[in-house]
C-alpha cells in the first residue's frame, strides 16, 4: 500500500469538515498525495542540482512549489537542516514534529548582537604547474586522495603519467616471474656459505674458481649482486667479509661467459663503499692500518671495472670520479677515506686526473696532512696517505713531457715545491731529488 498513511487523509478531511470519506476514496487520495510529494521532490532536486549542492534545502522545496504553481510553505526558511522531534502518542505510534524553539522575547532583545558572519573571500594557489601538482598546504596530500581513482589503469593507460604526477611509488610487478631452478638455488646457497666460511680456505677457493669459470650462472648474477650489496652494508666492521665480497665481484667480472654490463651500476656502490668508507673493519681486531689493503683491492677492482665498462656507460667514470673527489676534499673525513679517494681517482682517471683533480688541491690539503702527522693517533694513517700521494705524483712522472728547461736549485726549488703542493709533500718530493719527478710536479705551473 502507499507509504503515505491513509489515516492522515481522514484527519485532514475531518479538519476541513468532510466527515465521512469512503475507504476507496481515502486510499486513492493517499496514493495521489504520495505521487504529488514525489513530484515536488523531483522538482526540488533540480534546484538543488543547479545550486551545485548535495543537500536538499527548504529553499529548494519552496522554489519547486512555486514552479508547480503551489503556494510555498512559509516559516521553514533555513539554511540549516530542520530538526525533527519524536513523541509517542501510544505504543508503536510515534509522532514526528519539527522542533521549534521557544524564544524568550525579552532575552532576544537584550542579547548582544550575534557575530557578523565572515565575508566571502577567495585565495589563489597553483593547483598544477606544468602538469605536476605541487605539494603545498593548499593541495591535498597523497594520503587524502588515496580513495580517489585519479589515473587511468589497464592496458591502454600511459605508465608515464603516474611518474609525472609524482605518485610513481607503485610497486611494479615484473611481467615474467623469475624462476630459479632448484639446482641453481642450491648452488647459490652453497657458494654463499662457502665464501663466508672463514675457516675453510679450500672450500672458498673452490667457490671462487667455480664462479670464475662456470658458464651457466647468468640467472644468478642479480642475486649475487644483491648478496654483495647486502653483506657490504651490514658488515662494515668485518674486513674479512668485505674482502670476500670484493673477491666475489672480481670472480664474476672475470667470468668470460657472463654479461655484467647491465649490473655495473649496482656493483659500483658496494665497491665504492669498500674504497672510501669512513670506518672499515674494527681497529681493535685487525689493527689500525689493515683497512688500507682492502682499499687497495677495491681501488684496483674499481679501476678494472671502469676500464672494462667505461665505454658502455658514458657517465660511469665521471660519477665515480666525482664521488671520490668529493670525499677527498672533505677534510672531516678520516685519512682512510682520503686514501681510498686518492687511489680511486688514480685508478679511474690516471695521471691526467691526478694533475687536474688532485694536484691543484694539494696545497689546501697540506693543512690536513700536517695536523694528521702532528697528531700521534693519526700519524700512522697520515703517513700512508702521504705515501699514496707520493705514488700518485710519481705516476705523473711517467707520462710527463719534460718541456721545462731546467728549474731553480736548492732552497728556491724547495720553496717553489712547497708553494705548489704544500709543506709535507713538497719536502718529500724535494728529498727524492729526482729531477723528472720535480719537473712533473711543477709542470702544472706551465700548463695551467
Q: What is the binding site for another protein (CB under 8 A)?
A: 1-2, 28, 31-32, 34-35, 37-39, 42, 46-47, 49-55, 59, 63, 67, 79, 117-133, 138-140, 144-145, 148-158, 160-161, 164-165
Cα dist from 131 to 117, 168, 228, 444, whole Å:
37, 15, 40, 50
Give the H or E element holding residue 204: helix 201-213
Q: Which of 73, 70, 69 is nearest to 82 (CA)?
A: 73
18 — phi, psi (to 5°)?
-90, 110
- Residues in a beta bridge with 88: 94
Nearer to another protein, 63 or 349 (CB): 63
Query: Please, what is the Cα angle at 238 between 233 and 242, to 5 degrees?
Result: 60
Nearer to another protein, 46 or 279 (CB): 46
Nearer to another protein, 39 or 312 (CB): 39
Expressed in angstroms, the distance from the first to the final Cα of the chain is 102
Nearer to another protein, 38 or 262 (CB): 38
Rounded least distance, CB 129 to another protein, Å: 5
Dihedral over alpha carbons 48, 49, 54, 57 (to 10 degrees): 0
Rounded least distance, CB 177 to another protein, Å: 17
Cα dist from 103 to 15, 58, 106, 110, whole Å:
29, 21, 9, 12
Rounded least distance, CB 146 to another protein, Å: 10
Nearer to another protein, 37 or 387 (CB): 37
Nearer to another protein, 122 or 259 (CB): 122
Query: Please, what is the Cα angle at 234 between 232 and 238, to 5 degrees?
Result: 70
Rounded least distance, CB 150 to another protein, Å: 4
Dihedral over alpha carbons 65, 70, 75, 79 (to 10 degrees): 10
Nearer to another protein, 150 or 180 (CB): 150
What would the grid cell of residue 355 be? 694533475
Which residues are CB-neighbours of 409 under 8 A, at least 6 positions away? none
Q: Coil, strand, or helix at residue 102?
A: coil
Q: Do 341 and 351 meet the contact criterion of CB atoms below 8 Å apart?
A: no
Rounded least distance, CB 193 to another protein, Å: 42
Q: Which of 266, 264, 248 is nearest to 210 (CA)?
A: 248
Rounded least distance, CB 21 to another protein, Å: 17
Cα 126 to chain center, whole Å?
Answer: 24
Nearer to another protein, 144 or 202 (CB): 144
Rounded least distance, CB 63 to another protein, Å: 6
Nearer to another protein, 55 or 169 (CB): 55
Amino acid at each position: 500500500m502507499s507509504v503515505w498513511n491513509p489515516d492522515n487523509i481522514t484527519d485532514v478531511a475531518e479538519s476541513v469538515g468532510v466527515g465521512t470519506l469512503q475507504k476507496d476514496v481515502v486510499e486513492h487520495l493517499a496514493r495521489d498525495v504520495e505521487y504529488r510529494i514525489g513530484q515536488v521532490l523531483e522538482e526540488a532536486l533540480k534546484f538543488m542540482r543547479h545550486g551545485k549542492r548535495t543537500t536538499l534545502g527548504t529553499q529548494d522545496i519552496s522554489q519547486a512549489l512555486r514552479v508547480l504553481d503551489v503556494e510555498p510553505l512559509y516559516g521553514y526558511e533555513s539554511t540549516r537542516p530542520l530538526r525533527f522531534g519524536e513523541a509517542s502518542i501510544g505504543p508503536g505510534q510515534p509522532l514526528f514534529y519539527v522542533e521549534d524553539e521557544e524564544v524568550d522575547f525579552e532575552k532576544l532583545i537584550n542579547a548582544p548582537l550575534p557575530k557578523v558572519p565572515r565575508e566571502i573571500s577567495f585565495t589563489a594557489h597553483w593547483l598544477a604547474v606544468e602538469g605536476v601538482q605541487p605539494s603545498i598546504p593548499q593541495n591535498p596530500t597523497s594520503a587524502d586522495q588515496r580513495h580517489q581513482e585519479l589515473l587511468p589503469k589497464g592496458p591502454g593507460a600511459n605508465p608515464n603519467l603516474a611518474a609525472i604526477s609524482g605518485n610513481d611509488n607503485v610497486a611494479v610487478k615484473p611481467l615474467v616471474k623469475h624462476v630459479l631452478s632448484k639446482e641453481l638455488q642450491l648452488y647459490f646457497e652453497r657458494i654463499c656459505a662457502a665464501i663466508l666460511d672463514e675457516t675453510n680456505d679450500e672450500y672458498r677457493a673452490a667457490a671462487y674458481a667455480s664462479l670464475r669459470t662456470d658458464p651457466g650462472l647468468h640467472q644468478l648474477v642479480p642475486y649475487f649482486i644483491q648478496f654483495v650489496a647486502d653483506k657490504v652494508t651490514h658488515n662494515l666492521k668485518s674486513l674479512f667479509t668485505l674482502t670476500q665480497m670484493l673477491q666475489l665481484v672480481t670472480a664474476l667480472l672475470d667470468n668470460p661467459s657472463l654479461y655484467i654490463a647491465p649490473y655495473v651500476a649496482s656493483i659500483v656502490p658496494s665497491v665504492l663503499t669498500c674504497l672510501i668508507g669512513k670506518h672499515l673493519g674494527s681497529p681493535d681486531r685487525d689493527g689500525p692500518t689493515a683497512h688500507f689493503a682492502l682499499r687497495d683491492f677495491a681501488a684496483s677492482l674499481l679501476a678494472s671495472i671502469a676500464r672494462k665498462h667505461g665505454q658502455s656507460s658514458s657517465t660511469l667514470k665521471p660519477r665515480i670520479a666525482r664521488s671520490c673527489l668529493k670525499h677527498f676534499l672533505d677534510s672531516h673525513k678520516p685519512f682512510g677515506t682520503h686514501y681510498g679517494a686518492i687511489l680511486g681517482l688514480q685508478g679511474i682517471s690516471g695521471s691526467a686526473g691526478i694533475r687536474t683533480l688532485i694536484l691543484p688541491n694539494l696545497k689546501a690539503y697540506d693543512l690536513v696532512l700536517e695536523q694528521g702527522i702532528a697528531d700521534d693517533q693519526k700519524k700512522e694513517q697520515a703517513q700512508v696517505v702521504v705515501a699514496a700521494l707520493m705514488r700518485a705524483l710519481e705516476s705523473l712522472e711517467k707520462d710527463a713531457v719534460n718541456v721545462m728547461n731546467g728549474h731553480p736549485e736548492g732552497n728556491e726549488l724547495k720553496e717553489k715545491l712547497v708553494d705548489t703542493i704544500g709543506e709535507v709533500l713538497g719536502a718529500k718530493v724535494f728529498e727524492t731529488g729526482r729531477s723528472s719527478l720535480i719537473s712533473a710536479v711543477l709542470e702544472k705551473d706551465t700548463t695551467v
